[in-house]
Each structure stands twice: as C-alpha cells, then as structure tokens.
Chains A and B, each alone.
Chain A
Amino acid sequence: AQKVTQAQTEISVVEKEDVTLDCVYETRDTTYYLFWYKQPPSGELVFLIRRNSFDEQNEISGRYSWNFQKSTSSFNFTITASQVVDSAVYFCALSDSNSGYSTLTFGKGTMLLVSP
C-alpha cells in the first residue's frame, strides 16, 4: 500500500531562518510522481512542485528547494530565509498507479509558523 509520512506536525521558526520539511514515502511502483502543495490560511491548496521518479536532480525555485533521494524514499522541501508569508500547512503527495496515476495519497501535512 502507498503511504506518505510527514513526521513533523508543526514547526515554528523566526523570520530569516532556514527550514526543512521532511517527506518520506512508500511505494512498490517503479514509476511514480511526487508533489508538494501549500495550504495558506485561506484554505486553497496551491501546487508547488511535481517530480517524477526518474529525475533525481534537486530543484531550486527562488527561496524554495527540493531534495529527492530515491535511496531513502525521501522528498524534502527547504525554505531559505523564511518569511511570515510562508506560514501555511504544507502537504507532500504521491501518485497512485492503481488508479492509473489519477489519484494521490497525501501526507497529513506540516504546519509551518514563521514569526517576525
């Protein structure tokens, strides 16, 4: 069965600190897709990144970076120089080949609180 674990329930940092959100996944598929979403207080999930299992290159987008390691089944997300606007719940998700990759399995989320 597929599983996504986000062990950190809540993280609190002070503005300008770097913070890493962990995501560990379990799957028997050889082809799969991983996602990160951000849920601000307004409630709507905002897509951040998609990564396929064949591409282990790390990715950087502004203050955001992602570290994908198949050897440890992890897809961690780092925010550099955090800002108050980064305060949100962040979800990691994994595609499910049983539905033809049409559905996602979500972790329970990590709430990030950035204080001034």
Chain B
Amino acid sequence: DGGITQSPKYLFRKEGQNVTLSCEQNLNHDAMYWYRQDPGQGLRLIYYSQIVNDFQKGDIAEGYSVSREKKESFPLTVTSAQKNPTAFYLCASRTSGVARETQYFGPGTRLLVL
C-alpha cells in the first residue's frame, strides 16, 4: 500500500543524546516535510525538502538536522542543542511543482525526554 511511515512510534531521549526519527514514503512524492506539534501550538515547520540533496529551514530549525539522500527518505535528527525536544513529530510529503497539491501526513513519532 502507498503511504508514509514513521518510526518509532515512541522515542525516549536522554540528556545530551542525539536521536533520529525515520520518515519513509512510497508515494513517489518529491517534497517532504517535518513538523513539530506541541499542545495548543498547532503545527510548526522544522525543515522541508523539495528535491533530493536539497532542503530548507522552516520556522523552528534550531537544534534539528536533516538529510535527503534518497527520494523516499527524510530522516530528522534531534540534537542535544534542542533543549526542549518533548513533542509530537509529524512527517509529510507532496508532489512538488504543482501549487495546488496536498500534503499527506504520516502517523507521527512522540518524543519524550528521560
């Protein structure tokens, strides 16, 4: 089945540790996104990528890093520089180059700090 998968569903981070969240899609979409969701804050864009080997910072990129080596994959690393990483992280993808196209979302990863 076509879709977006995120793993793990829950992730625990210790102080000073880097952790990586996985996002994979088999929809043949060019663009991929990472959002952070905090209670009452809606969705805030962390990073996005419109094509392989290229990505742009979103509104809250500090403390995060990404890579886009393959069209299907867009992993997000939460670094030790992110002092308040506890949140729900959502990955999305869409067809690039067409303004009207819709973003579709994965099931999310909940990150908790130990």
Q: Shortest beta-carbon distance, A87 to chain B, in Å? A: 17
User: Would A103 and B58 be within 8 Å (CB), given that A44-B107, A109-B42 are in contact?
Assistant: yes
Among candidates A9, A31, A45, residue contacting B99 with C-beta atoms closer than 8 Å: A31
Interface residues on chain B, size class: 20 to 34
B27 on interface, CB distance cutoff 8 Å: no
A33 close to chain B: CB less than 8 A: yes
Docked pose: A57 CA to B50 CA in angstroms? 31
State how many residues of chain A have any CB contact under 8 Å with chain B: 25
**B contacts with A: majority SS:** strand
Once the chains bind, are A50 and B108 in contact (CB under 8 Å)?
no
With a cutoff of 8 Å between Cβ atoms, the chain A residues found around residue B48 in the complex are 99, 102-103
Closest to A44 in B: B107
A9-B40, A43-B88 known; A104-B103 Cβ under 8 A: yes
B81 beta carbon closer than 8 Å to chain A: no
Chain B residues closer than 8 Å to A104, beta-carbon distance: 45, 103
B108 touching A44 by the CB < 8 A rule? yes
Interface string of B81-114 (1 = CB under 8 A from A): 0000000101010101001101111111010000
**What is the distance, in angstroms, from A28's C-beta to the closest C-beta of chain B?**
16
Q: Are A33 and B58 in contact (CB under 8 A)?
A: no
B42 to chain A, nearest CB (A): 4
Tell me, yes or no, whether B21 is within 8 Å of chain A by CB: no
Residues of A whose CB lies within 8 Å of any CB of B are: 9, 31, 33, 35, 37, 42-47, 50, 52, 91, 95, 99-104, 106-109
A-B contacts, 23 listed (Cβ < 8 Å): A9-B40, A31-B99, A35-B102, A42-B107, A43-B88, A43-B90, A43-B108, A44-B106, A46-B105, A47-B102, A91-B42, A95-B99, A99-B48, A100-B99, A102-B31, A102-B48, A103-B33, A103-B45, A103-B48, A104-B45, A107-B42, A108-B40, A108-B41
A-binding residues in B (CB < 8 A): 31, 33, 40-45, 48, 50, 56, 58, 88, 90, 92, 94, 96, 99-100, 102-108, 110
* CB-CB nearest 6 A-B residue pairs: A101-B99, A108-B42, A45-B105, A43-B108, A106-B43, A44-B107
